[in-house]
Chain A
Amino acid sequence: MTPEADEMVAVELAINGKPTHLVVRPDETLLFVLRDSIGLTGTKGACLEGECGSCTLLLNGAPVNSCLVLAAQVHGGRVETIEGLAHGDKLHVLQRKFIESGAAQCGYCTPGLIMAAKALLDETPNPDEETFFRGMEGNICRCTGYTSICEAIRGAAREWSR
């Protein structure tokens, strides 16, 4: 179905620092626009109701569930996804720690977890337990359990403050 031209919405935004112009249907979510229209498939969908955090990315620096954000709402916004984290071959410290700690098994929750953890550590580089949970509680991992993930984030936190 091709929507009428006047039904489409022009959106200017920055994705991983790159100015991007998109034309979207009003009811398209940011998640599906990123994944299906521009091929940034690192951000995952899993529950599509904000319960699991797999689709977490940063909008203007804050974590959001991209499955619940309309792409058209993001006009003028700054979006950071998992694809924007590494610098060339150099992994982001969270990415490195996730590998070292064995925190990515099936890997499906990993991009969302890493983005949520980045938001947490950006705001609180050395979180206490309550802050840690508040930052991470929206992300579900079904296969790895949380032990190694906590360890990876704590490991990254140790390097973060340096």
Chain B
Amino acid sequence: MTQNIQTIDVPIAEPFAEPLVPPSQTPYVERPHGPVGRSEDRIDGPEKVLGTALYGADLFYGRADCFVSVVRSEPAHAEIVAVDPSAALKMPGVLGVYTHRDVRGTNRQGLIVRDHPVLAESRVLFRGDAIAVVVATSERTAEDARRAVRVDYRPLPVVADMDAALAPDAPRLHPDGNIMGGKRIRKGDADAALAAADVIVSESFCTQTVDHAFLDLEAGIAHYDGRTLTIHVSGQWVHEERRLIALALGLPLESVRIICPATGGAFGGREDISIQIYLGIAAIQHPGKTVALRYSREESMRARHKRHAMRIYYTVGATRDGLLTAAKITVFSDEGAYRSTGPAVCRKAASHATGPYRIPNVSVDVYGVFTNNNPTGAMRGFGACQMAIAYEGMMDRLAARLGIDRLEVRRRNLIRSGDAVTTGQRIPIATAVECLDAAVRRLRQCPPPRPTDPHKSRTRPPALPPHLRRGVGYSVICFGLGYGDGFPDASRARVGVSDQGRIQVFTGGVEYGQGLITMAAQVAAEELGVSVRETDVVWADTEQTFESGSSSATRQTYFTGNAIRLAASELKEQLLDIASKLLGVHPHELELRDGCVVGRFDPARSVPLAEVVAQGRARGYSLEATALFKPRTVCEDFDTGQSPRAFITYLFGSHIAEVLVDIETGEVRVDRYIACHDVGRAINPQSVAGQMAGGATQGIGMALMEEVVNRDGRIANPNFTDYILPTFRDIPPVECVILENDDPGGPFGARGIGEPPLIAATPAVLSAIADAIGVHTHTTPCTPQRVWELLHPDEAAVPPDARFSLAPPHARLER
């Protein structure tokens, strides 16, 4: 008998949407009938597959006149005694060596507090602090000259970790001491509730330093013509970079222009200023020349900020039935040498400390601690992802302690629509339970065929060999979108129409792979009744676009999507007004559809958009519109951390991981992966699934392998040989389940997707490992060694009780 093997052409990434509320019952938003909701091809797809998209380093060819390199600190903590460039200046081809003395502005950088000298003045605080900028006629000469610049240091004691920083006799890294600041939440009476709890579970967690590891290394060019400094470098917030560069280098704001080239990933790693400012320093010194700079991987890793390593002390109290009554949480966060985004990360960690769980009594203290490690700053899911590891770890522990099913404990405590999160903000549409249930339903279905091998049987072997254990893990998370916390958060967009009738969208947001410009085109095209192919997007050029805020915080779809929709809607009014004169129909009775203006009630009355545009031009219409989307949030109270609206809206998601663990070696393989997110509305389902799969991949990397190893202020693994990322073999097909429950304030009901997939992934994998080996994890990443050590605690390199030698929280926050 021959068996026919059938190839089932079900693409795994094809998400299936499950609206929880029938569309007819969602009162909030108009149903899209155009490109919104469709998996339109990315508008930057062709140039990316052809290799013609120009990234920063691709701009060198034919343009670069001279090359820049940066002299960096070798010690992690030292006073600078002298900088002697004379040997470098004698080298043929060296055009100049510049120090802070040559910087005409404030010489300060920093996203929240400008506390970081662009070029070090008297002291260096981490191994990688920039000291001088070299300009030469070739890249190799610039490199040689960099090495020839002599810097004399007076070494200072290195504060290598938070224990050292908090020691009583620790050297002070900043004038106010080594506690950068922090955040607290006081809700109810956590101590009293813990005292009264039926059961108390305590654990401490240790998360690692993570590198963004975007593939597209920092690279770009700059040119100064004596009036305008033009910089082509990838960033995440070009308008802020302009402000910062103008201030630091002493130029008027309007003299700085930033243009973002194609950008190969960012993940928060391009939020702090990087090579832009060194290029600026060099360009100003060499007017008329195009200067170029690119980092090696090692320099990129040495220079750039990182994800905060955190130590989290977590105690929960619950009833016998598993209802949470209290949580007391203390977090120490390694800020590294400068603040960067640290204050926001502390705040986010506090507001997300208990995730999607309903806990009446909560006490949270988060402290940022300065060390001589790399500054730590923004990275996808910052603050929230570390806390998710902790709160999901606690749910598994509570379930184990009470002998209740892990899913059941979660369901009993997850917030429902109308409940409040820990900051006191009520969430009108909370779909945490729905996400979990949808993910579990998916788990019960047979996994789809793997694209890597559609013929391979996915039935499990009946028995595993004795050294392998299977485990399944769950996570449920929530995430507040946008900056939140009362911070002014806004996006401005402009939409116009060209003489040829093409729609032009202008946004200051950065396309770094997440699909921003395709989203922008889809929203504008939807509103204006055209196709995406008739829409162009101009982005991230400070001269051509208005400010849209940073491309971070999962905020661009919500903020810029809304701004574009509003601007397009304004433009639409003009177009309908013009058409109404042509057709003799009241504008309110007209609509834009398929590139024409047609009568709503009399489709026979119709005029092509191009003709409307021509008539509009003739009649003096501007044919463009701008709009600002600026919703308000309310700053959290200093003493209690409470706010009626800390974040503009919340996102929910749930992941499930199945792993196989080799209990003899500690090796872990993720065997099946399910990601479910409620995104409000998927403007482009394929893009949403791409963000889910990409975020999950980074989260799995954080769970299993990624770790920047800091040793005495030195990164031991500043390269991809030892800073390892997940490969094809490490990630099973990510099965995406997209839930769509319209957000009343989002464009067409959309919320966002950027960060939550990473946040949910790490705890799901950790939970699966714990399920497989019967021991809970507490330290990330769970490398084979760490998994093995969980099973052999006596053999651990770091004894378990020495993991946290920090004194109990003694630091006090001052107003």
Contacts and interface: CB of A to CB of B under 8 A. Distances in A.
The reply, when asked whether chain A contacts chain B directly with Cβ atoms under 8 A, is yes
A41 B48 CA distance: 12
A95 B50 CA distance: 7
A148 B13 contact: yes
A31 B776 CA distance: 46
B27 to A, nearest CB: 32
B733 interface: yes
Given A46-B217, A91-B46, A147 B734 contact: yes
A147 B728 contact: no
* Chain A contact residues: helix, strand, loop or mixed: loop
Interface in A103-162: 104-111, 114, 127-129, 132-133, 136-137, 139-148, 150-151, 153-155, 158
A82 interface: yes
A108 B62 CA distance: 21
Contact of B265 (A101, A132, A142): A142
What is the interface of chain B mostly: helix, strand, loop, or mixed?
Answer: loop
A99 B49 contact: yes
Given A145-B690, A145-B697, A154-B451, A49 B719 contact: yes
Interface in B360-415: none
Contacts of A1: 92-93, 138, 140-141, 144
Contacts of B694: 105, 141-145
A63 interface: no
Given A101-B11, A145-B693, A107 B62 contact: no
B721 A104 contact: no
B57 A106 contact: no
Contacts of A66: none
B290 interface: no
B49 A143 contact: no
A102 B689 contact: yes
A19 B720 CA distance: 34
B628 to A, nearest CB: 28
B58 interface: yes
A143 B58 contact: no
Nearest to B734: A147
Contacts of B733: 147, 150
How large, as a class, is the contact surface on chain A? 35 or more
B41 A44 contact: no
Contacts of B217: 45-46
A152 to B, nearest CB: 8
Contact of A99 (B46, B263, B720): B46
Give the bracket for the number of chain B residues in contact with chain A: 35 or more
B51 A144 contact: no
Contacts of B297: 46-49
A35 interface: yes
A42 B548 CA distance: 30
B513 A91 contact: no
B49 A91 contact: yes
A147 B525 CA distance: 29
A83 interface: yes
B453 A132 contact: yes
B262 A107 contact: yes
Contacts of A129: 450, 452-453, 456
A52 interface: yes
Interface stretch (B164-172, B208-216, B600-608): B208-216
Contact of A142 (B42, B215, B455): B215
Contact of B213 (A42, A142, A146): A142
A133 B214 contact: no
A31 to B, nearest CB: 11
Contacts of B698: 142
A102 to B, nearest CB: 4
Interface string B711-735: 0000000011100011111010110
B195 interface: no
A107 to B, nearest CB: 3
B264 to A, nearest CB: 3
- Give the most central of A51, A83, A127, A128: most B CB within 10 Å: A51
B452 A145 contact: no
B265 A147 contact: no
Given A91-B50, A106-B513, A108-B264, A146 B456 contact: no
Contacts of A108: 55, 214-216, 264-265, 513
A54 B697 contact: no
Contacts of A54: 215
A86 interface: yes
Given A95-B49, A143-B265, A144-B694, A102 B214 contact: no
A47 B215 CA distance: 7
B61 A83 contact: no
Contact of A150 (B7, B141, B720, B728): B728
B60 interface: yes
Contacts of B140: 1
A137 B214 contact: no
Contacts of B338: none
B222 to A, nearest CB: 18
Contacts of B44: 107
A110 B720 contact: no
B55 A110 contact: no
Contact of B731 (A44, A51, A100, A146): A146
A148 B693 contact: yes
Interface of B: 7, 11-13, 39, 41-42, 44-55, 57-58, 60-62, 92-93, 138, 140-141, 144, 213-217, 262-265, 267, 296-297, 450-456, 512-515, 686-687, 689-690, 692-698, 719-721, 725-729, 731, 733-734
Interface of A: 1, 35-36, 39, 41-49, 51-52, 54, 81-83, 85-86, 91, 94-96, 98-102, 104-111, 114, 127-129, 132-133, 136-137, 139-148, 150-151, 153-155, 158
5 contacts: A129-B450, A143-B264, A147-B731, A147-B733, A154-B452
The 6 closest A-B pairs by CB, nearest first: A42-B51, A106-B513, A108-B264, A107-B48, A145-B693, A129-B453
Given A143-B514, A144-B513, 8 more contacts: A47-B720, A51-B721, A102-B686, A108-B55, A133-B452, A137-B728, A143-B513, A150-B451
